[in-house]
A and B are shown apart, each in its own frame.
Chain A
Amino acid sequence: GESVGLHLPTLSVQEGDNSIINCAYSNSASDYFIWYKQESGKGPQFIIDIRSNMDKRQGQRVTVLLNKTVKHLSLQIAATQPGDSAVYFCAESTGFQKLVFGTGTRLLVSP
């Protein structure tokens, strides 16, 4: 069946470093890939998405890279800040916006 997984459950970085969160997916038919951020006690919050026909998209301090050859998705956060500490989920959208989420990576930012 469809599955979206992550390579690392926890990523620890120093404030100011760049962070890279990785994700592997299995459904080649997905239309969009999305990154969500979930802070403790809150619902997931949209960060950025990328359409399946693109390989890179940039937002404010974030960049998403899509490598369809190896079915790999990554989220890069520049100049990581303490406020970036959260769990990050990748998700893929198939058909009519049905999302399949990965298991999540916890990002810990230390001062």
Chain B
Amino acid sequence: DADVTQTPRNRITKTGKRIMLECSQTKGHDRMYWYRQDPGLGLRLIYYSFDVKDINKGEISDGYSVSRQAQAKFSLSLESAIPNQTALYFCATSEPAGMGSYNEQFFGPGTRLTVL
């Protein structure tokens, strides 16, 4: 079984609809992240969470919200989807690392979201 899973894998929705993307992990990691990938722009950080009670904005948080329901679950919501939110969305997890340190981030398979 995959360590980091995302549901749904594909979603087509209409402008103005509320959408929730879910991420679950069995790695036991405290840290979880949501990224967005657009063609030619690489991955950009939307939100991240260092533990259940911690939520932080990333580079492009406007138009998104998140919820860390448990250590293993981190969901991303688009309250009112718009076409320029059409993208690939990736969830990632990692073990904690102190300032100046780094631990590998493990990525899920991604969710392809299309907003019409």
B110's nearest neighbour on chain A, judged by CB, is: A43
**Does B45 belong to the interface (CB within 8 Å)?**
yes
Q: Is the CB of A32 within 8 A of B58?
A: no
Q: Is the CB of B90 within 8 A of A43?
A: yes
Which single member of A44, A97, A104 contacts B97 (CB below 8 Å)?
A97
Residues of chain A contacted by B4 (CB below 8 angstroms): 43
Q: Is the CB of A98 within 8 A of B97?
A: no
C-alpha spacing A71/B48, complex, angstroms = 27
**Does A61 belong to the interface (CB within 8 Å)?**
no
**Does B80 belong to the interface (CB within 8 Å)?**
no
Q: Is the CB of A44 within 8 A of B45?
A: no
**Does B99 belong to the interface (CB within 8 Å)?**
yes
A34-B102 in contact given A43-B90, A89-B42 (Cβ < 8 Å) = yes
Which single member of B58, B101, B106 contacts A98 (CB below 8 Å)?
B58
**Does B64 belong to the interface (CB within 8 Å)?**
no
**Does B107 belong to the interface (CB within 8 Å)?**
yes
Question: From DSSP, what is the main secondary structure of chain B's interface residues?
Answer: loop
Residues of chain B contacted by A103 (CB below 8 angstroms): 40-42
Residues of chain B contacted by A49 (CB below 8 angstroms): 102, 104
C-alpha spacing A103/B48, complex, angstroms = 21
**Does B73 belong to the interface (CB within 8 Å)?**
no
Residues of chain B contacted by A43 (CB below 8 angstroms): 4, 90, 92, 107-110
**Does A95 belong to the interface (CB within 8 Å)?**
yes
**Does B43 belong to the interface (CB within 8 Å)?**
yes
A96 to chain B, nearest CB (A): 6
Residues of chain B contacted by A99 (CB below 8 angstroms): 43, 45, 105
Please report which residues of chain A, range 65-86, place their CB below 8 angstroms from some CB of chain B when the two chains form the complex.
none
14 contacts between A and B (CB under 8 A): A4-B42, A31-B102, A32-B101, A42-B109, A43-B4, A43-B107, A43-B108, A49-B104, A91-B43, A93-B102, A95-B99, A97-B94, A97-B102, A104-B42
